[in-house]
């Protein structure tokens, strides 16, 4: 094993809860004077464009979701909406209790570390100030790379950056949007992380049918480093 490639949300951090995501959409809809339900739907509808970096800024991503609503949004509220979104995301980027020590332990074995995240632009903006930045050698963000999981090209770009082959790399993720199956198809070793005590967290097309290796804590990953 020459490298470990991590998903971010639900892997190195807990996913936000459904209630937290609901509160975020509600606050943003309120400053934009639109329906929270319609904004939430709009945010889902525009996911693929957003995650592929089709919007230049967080502001454009919010505006694209707001434009899906049946009434015009209050454009003057957009700057405040961006602040709200960044504030929530920052609070969702807290490392799991064993995340940093596990990554450090992996690196101490001479194994390279990478990140493959489907995210909006605020994540690469916040990244340099996160503790992860010091221990993840090669972070790849969908919004910056203009690729997203499960597109094979996104995984292949990570392999290029880490200078390893898929068969030399372990991919670890909670399994949103078919990311585990896609990695396995490309020849990665794959482990799902899914703590059994996490209920009501926010998922997107979760791979409920995954039958491969599964762990509950990041520290269990060490046994898969061969
Ligand atoms: Mg995830």
- State the pLDDT at residue 222: 94
> How much distance in Å is there from the Cα of 199 to the middle of ligand 1?
14
Query: In the predicted model, is pLDDT for residue 61 greater than 90?
Result: yes
> How much distance in Å is there from the Cα of 175 to the middle of ligand 1?
6
**Average pLDDT, integer, range 58-66:** 97
Query: In the predicted model, is pLDDT for residue 8 greater than 90?
Result: yes
CB of 104 closer than 8 Å to CB of 132: no
- State the pLDDT at residue 51: 82
> How much distance in Å is there from the Cα of 3 to the middle of ligand 1?
19
- Asked whether the CA dihedral 117, 54, 83, 31 is positive or negative, the reply is negative
Q: Which two tokens stand for residue 110?
A: 């001479």
- State the pLDDT at residue 142: 93
Q: Which residues pair with 190 in a beta bridge?
A: 171
**Average pLDDT, integer, range 100-118:** 97
Q: Which two tokens stand for residue 7?
A: 């998903």
Q: What mean pLDDT, rounded, does the chain reach?
A: 95
> How much distance in Å is there from the Cα of 16 to the middle of ligand 1?
10
Dihedral of CA atoms 133, 108, 4, 48 in degrees, nearest 10, equals: -10
Dihedral of CA atoms 31, 32, 34, 36 in degrees, nearest 10, equals: -60
> How much distance in Å is there from the Cα of 22 to the middle of ligand 1?
18
> How much distance in Å is there from the Cα of 47 to the middle of ligand 1?
14
> How much distance in Å is there from the Cα of 33 to the middle of ligand 1?
31
> How much distance in Å is there from the Cα of 113 to the middle of ligand 1?
17
> How much distance in Å is there from the Cα of 214 to the middle of ligand 1?
14
- Quickly list H helices, the chain: 18-32, 36-45, 47-51, 58-66, 78-91, 99-108, 122-126, 142-145, 152-162, 179-185
Q: State whether residue 5 is helix, strand or coil.
A: strand
- State the pLDDT at residue 200: 79
> How much distance in Å is there from the Cα of 122 to the middle of ligand 1?
16
Query: In the predicted model, is pLDDT for residue 192 greater than 80?
Result: yes
> How much distance in Å is there from the Cα of 173 to the middle of ligand 1?
6
**CATH architecture, domain defined by 3-15+94-224:** 3-Layer(aba) Sandwich (3.40)
Closest C-alpha among 141, 133, 137 to residue 112: 137
- State the pLDDT at residue 204: 81
> How much distance in Å is there from the Cα of 10 to the middle of ligand 1?
4
DSSP states of 53-97 as a string?
A: T-SSSHHHHHHHHHTTSSS---GGGHHHHHHHHHHHHHHT-PBPT
More confident residue, 208 or 212: 212
Q: Which two tokens stand for residue 160?
A: 């290029």
Contact partners, residue 199, CB within 8 Å, separation at least 6: none
> How much distance in Å is there from the Cα of 117 to the middle of ligand 1?
8
- With 0.85 as the threshold, say if the pTM is over it: yes
> How much distance in Å is there from the Cα of 177 to the middle of ligand 1?
9
> How much distance in Å is there from the Cα of 195 to the middle of ligand 1?
12
Contact partners, residue 16, CB within 8 Å, separation at least 6: 9, 24, 88, 92, 201, 202
Closest C-alpha among 136, 138, 127, 126 to residue 100: 136
Q: What is the band of 36 on the pLDDT scale with cuts at 50, 70, 90?
A: very high
> How much distance in Å is there from the Cα of 192 to the middle of ligand 1?
10
């Amino acid at each position: 094993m020459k490298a470990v490639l991590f998903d971010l949300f639900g892997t190195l951090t807990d996913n936000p809860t459904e209630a937290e995501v609901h509160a975020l959409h509600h606050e943003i809809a309120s400053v934009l004077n639109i329906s929270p339900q319609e904004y939430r739907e709009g945010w889902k509808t525009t996911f693929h464009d957003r995650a592929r970096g089709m919007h230049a800024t967080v502001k454009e991503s919010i505006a694209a979701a707001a434009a899906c609503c049946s009434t015009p949004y209050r454009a003057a509220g957009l700057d405040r909406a961006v602040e709200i979104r960044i504030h929530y995301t920052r609070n969702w980027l807290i490392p799991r209790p064993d995340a940093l020590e596990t990554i450090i332990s992996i690196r101490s074995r001479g194994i390279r570390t990478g990140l493959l995240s489907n995210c909006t632009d605020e994540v690469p903006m916040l990244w340099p100030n996160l503790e992860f930045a010091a221990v993840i050698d090669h972070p790849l963000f969908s919004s910056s790379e203009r690729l997203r999981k499960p597109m094979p090209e996104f995984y292949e770009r990570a392999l290029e950056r880490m200078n390893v082959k898929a068969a030399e790399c372990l991919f670890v993720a909670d399994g949103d949007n078919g990311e585990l199956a896609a990695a396995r198809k490309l020849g990665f070793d794959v482990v799902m992380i899914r703590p059994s005590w996490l209920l009501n967290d926010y998922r997107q097309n979760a791979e409920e049918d995954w039958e491969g290796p599964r762990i509950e804590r990041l520290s269990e990953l060490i046994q898969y480093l061969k």
